[in-house]
């Protein structure tokens, strides 16, 4: 059985880099061809080829909500993320493995009982769902309409980008957030809100993403659910007031951690995931990654300095039970392999 990674980040970045590269070539060509003294901005990697969007920095931040949440995570909180299968706890367990304070788990696949067990062991639970993509294996997939669906997510069979402004999409997501409340989740981690960075076939813009985050906040907050922002670095300055944490993939790998520092400055944690080559395999499975790899991904000798204050986990792309922390501790959470794996076991 082939395991499909749970992250879209690598793909969208590759596209971004490719587009950036093409744009650079075209701009260079024009500049040379026209003989104009074109000066090229230093910050070329911020260009997503999305000329319809004003730079986010010109938009003012969304208003701060006027209510407080019963729980918000704090900078330096420890966590584990497992999306391939639900964690498997036994009623005798006196602590979780690892004994971190927060678990980020799949909303649909994780039984209510497991969430209760995590709570009984003093843990907070963040429930993951895809808010910006259609996943054909989800139990509510039949509720989406053709007009809601855009292009396939390249490399992610069975997934399509969603028109996040559509009434029907929002109604379905509201039900998902209500399910998170019923299951006892403390927060939600809505993925794929950055469709605007990808070939989505729906003309999604940064503004669409900003309005969507505002909508998600308006449905999650009254239910006391803490809302996170997944990746989507471009819209941080605007949406920061309505989100309580960041879940980021590979900012060290791609040298983008600076973009996420505003969370730390605002007293909100950045839950950072890196996918080093060899993670969870061979020698690393029990003994952890080699020192040079740890130096690269962890804030040690300065290589990952921009990730200061982030809660970094080193994971395999499938986001299974294996995890290594920057202190070198390796842990494996038991999972229920008969459930999940992106619908493949259904
Ligand atoms: C709080 O914010 C909500 C939503 O923005 C608004 O409807 C409500 O009137 C506000 N309440 C107060 C007391 O300002
Ligand atoms: C988080 O941990 C780092 C490293 O121990 C420390 O320097 C920093 O002050 C901590 N931040 C907060 C907000 O606790
Ligand atoms: C596990 O963490 C909890 C807090 O969530 C703490 O009370 C408990 O002592 C820890 N247990 C072990 C075995 O470390
Ligand atoms: C939210 O939490 C507050 C306490 O912090 C509580 O009074 C309120 O009833 C809760 N609302 C919901 C919908 O759970």
Q: Quick one: pLDDT at residue 281?
A: 95
Please tell me whether residues 19 and 128 are part of one structural domain: no
Among 4-8, 149-153, 250-254, 328-332, where is mean pLDDT lowest?
Answer: 4-8
- Residue 338 inside a domain? The answer is no
Residue 190 in this model has a pLDDT that exceeds 50: yes
Rounded average pLDDT over 61-79 = 97
Residue 45 in this model has a pLDDT that exceeds 70: no
Q: Quick one: pLDDT at residue 57?
A: 54
Q: How big is the CA angle at 159 (ends 186 and 247), to the nearest 5 degrees?
A: 35
Please tell me whether residues 228 and 318 are part of one structural domain: yes
Q: Quick one: pLDDT at residue 95?
A: 97
Is the CB of 36 inside a 6 Å radius of any atom of ligand 3? Answer: no
Segment 83-142, tens digit of pLDDT: 999 999 998 999 999 999 999 999 999 999 999 999 999 999 999 999 999 999 999 999
- Residue 267 inside a domain? The answer is yes
Nearest ligand to residue 268 Cα: 2
- State the residue for tokens 């989505």: 200
Among 16-20, 191-195, 270-274, where is mean pLDDT lowest?
Answer: 16-20
- Residue 4 inside a domain? The answer is no
Pocket of ligand 4 (CB under 6 A): 70, 223-224
- Residue 318 inside a domain? The answer is yes
Rounded average pLDDT over 49-64 = 68
- Residue 157 inside a domain? The answer is yes
Q: Quick one: pLDDT at residue 21?
A: 52
Region of 265 please: left (phi>0), alpha (psi -120 to 50) or beta.
alpha
- With beta carbons less than 8 A apart as the criterion, state whether 109 and 340 touch: yes
Tokens of 12: 């969208």
Q: How far is CA 208 from CA 25, 47, 197, 213, in A?
A: 29, 18, 12, 9
Which strands, in side-by-side order, build the sheet including 102-106? 79-82, 102-106, 124-130, 187-191, 226-230, 245-249, 270-274, 311-314, 322-325, 330-332
Residue 13 in this model has a pLDDT that exceeds 50: no
Please tell me whether residues 197 and 252 are part of one structural domain: yes
Q: How far does the centroid of ligand 4 lie from the alpha carbon of residue 222, in Å? A: 8
- Which atom of ligand 3 sits closest to the CA of residue 94? 13
Please tell me whether residues 102 and 223 are part of one structural domain: yes
Q: Quick one: pLDDT at residue 301?
A: 76
- Which atom of ligand 2 sits closest to the CA of residue 264? 13
Could you give the count of Cα atoms lying within 13 Å of 14 in the half-sphere of its Cβ?
A: 7
Please tell me whether residues 140 and 259 are part of one structural domain: yes
Q: Quick one: pLDDT at residue 229?
A: 98
Please tell me whether residues 157 and 236 are part of one structural domain: yes
Residue 300 in this model has a pLDDT that exceeds 70: yes
- Residue 6 inside a domain? The answer is no
Scored b (16 or more CB within 10 A) or e, 143-181 reads ebeeebbbebbeebebbbbbbbbbeebbebbbebbebbb
pTM above 0.75, yes or no: yes
Distance CA 119, CA 10 (A): 33
For 96, the domain range is 57-332
% of the chain at pLDDT higher than 90: 78
Please tell me whether residues 73 and 206 are part of one structural domain: yes
Q: How far does the centroid of ligand 3 lie from the alpha carbon of residue 95, in Å? A: 6
The CATH number that applies at residue 322 is: 3.20.20.70
Q: Quick one: pLDDT at residue 344?
A: 67
Nearest to 211 by CA among 238, 174, 237: 238
Take atom 6 of ligand 2 and give the residue whose Cα is closest: 309
Is the CB of 122 inside a 6 Å radius of any atom of ligand 3? Answer: yes
Task: Tell me the pLDDT band of 25, cut-offs 50, 70 and 90.
Answer: low
Q: How far does the centroid of ligand 3 lie from the alpha carbon of residue 118, in Å? A: 12
Please tell me whether residues 196 and 112 are part of one structural domain: yes
DSSP-assigned letters across all residues of 152-189: EPTT-TTEEEE-TT-HHHHHHHHHHHHHHHHHT-SEEE
| Average pLDDT of the chain to the nearest whole number | 87
- State the residue for tokens 């950045």: 270
Nearest to 270 by CA among 225, 295, 240, 300: 240
CB within 8 Å of 150: residues ≥ 6 apart = 160, 161, 162, 163, 195, 200, 201, 202, 204
Among 17-26, 60-69, 270-279, where is mean pLDDT lowest?
Answer: 17-26
Segment 256-270, tens digit of pLDDT: 999 999 999 999 999
Nearest ligand to residue 184 Cα: 4
Please tell me whether residues 207 and 311 are part of one structural domain: yes
Task: Tell me the pLDDT band of 50, cut-offs 50, 70 and 90.
Answer: very low
Is the CB of 309 inside a 6 Å radius of any atom of ligand 2? Answer: yes
The alpha carbon of 281 is separated from its chain's Cα centroid by a whole number of angstroms, namely 23
- Which atom of ligand 4 sits closest to the CA of residue 70? 5
% of the chain at pLDDT higher than 70: 82
Please tell me whether residues 320 and 185 are part of one structural domain: yes
Q: How far does the centroid of ligand 4 lie from the alpha carbon of residue 221, in Å? A: 10
Residue 345 in this model has a pLDDT that exceeds 70: no
- Phi/psi at 204 (5° precision): -65, 140
Q: Cis bond leading into 98, ω under 30°?
A: yes
Domain total in the chain: 2
Q: Quick one: pLDDT at residue 7?
A: 47
- Residue 268 inside a domain? The answer is yes
- Residue 286 inside a domain? The answer is yes
Take atom 13 of ligand 2 and give the residue whose Cα is closest: 75
- Which atom of ligand 4 sits closest to the CA of residue 68? 5
Is the CB of 95 inside a 6 Å radius of any atom of ligand 3? Answer: yes
Please tell me whether residues 189 and 250 are part of one structural domain: yes
Nearest to 292 by CA among 310, 304, 307, 309: 304
Q: Quick one: pLDDT at residue 24?
A: 58
55 DSSP assignment: P
- Choice from 309, 325, 326 to test ligand 2 binding pocket (greatest atom count within 8 A of CB): 309
Nearest to 145 by CA among 180, 171, 106: 171
Please tell me whether residues 26 and 145 are part of one structural domain: no
Q: How far does the centroid of ligand 2 lie from the alpha carbon of residue 296, in Å? A: 20
């Amino acid at each position: 059985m082939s395991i499909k990674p749970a992250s879209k980040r690598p793909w969208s970045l590759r596209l971004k880099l490719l587009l950036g590269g093409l744009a650079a070539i075209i701009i260079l060509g024009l500049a040379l061809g026209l003989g104009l003294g074109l000066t090229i901005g230093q910050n070329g990697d911020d260009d997503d080829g999305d000329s319809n969007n004003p730079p986010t920095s010109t938009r003012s931040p969304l208003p701060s909500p006027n209510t407080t949440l019963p729980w918000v995570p704090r900078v330096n909180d420890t966590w584990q993320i497992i999306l391939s299968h639900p964690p498997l706890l036994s009623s005798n367990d006196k602590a979780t493995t690892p004994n971190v304070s927060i678990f980020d788990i799949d909303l649909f696949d994780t039984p209510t009982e497991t969430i209760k067990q995590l709570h009984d062991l003093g843990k907070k639970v963040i429930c993951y769902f895809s808010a910006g993509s259609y996943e054909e294996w989800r139990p509510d997939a039949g509720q989406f309409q053709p007009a809601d669906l855009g292009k396939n997510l390249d490399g992610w069979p069975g997934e399509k980008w969603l028109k996040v402004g559509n009434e029907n999409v929002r109604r379905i997501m509201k039900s998902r957030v209500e399910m998170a409340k019923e299951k006892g989740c403390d927060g939600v981690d809505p993925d794929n809100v950055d469709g605007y960075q990808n070939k989505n076939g729906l003309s999604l813009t940064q503004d669409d993403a900003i309005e969507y985050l505002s909508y998600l906040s308006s449905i999650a907050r009254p239910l006391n659910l803490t809302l996170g922002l997944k990746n989507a670095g471009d819209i941080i300055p605007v949406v920061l007031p309505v989100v309580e944490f960041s879940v980021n993939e590979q900012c060290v790998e791609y040298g983008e951690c600076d973009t996420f520092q505003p969370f730390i400055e605002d007293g909100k944690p950045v839950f950072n995931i890196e996918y080093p080559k060899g993670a969870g395999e061979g020698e690393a499975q029990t003994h952890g990654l080699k020192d040079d790899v740890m130096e690269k991904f962890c804030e040690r000798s300065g290589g990952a300095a921009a990730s200061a204050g982030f809660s970094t986990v080193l994971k395999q792309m499938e986001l299974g039970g294996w995890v290594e922390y920057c202190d070198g501790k390796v842990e494996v959470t038991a999972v229920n392999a008969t459930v999940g794996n992106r619908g493949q076991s259904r």
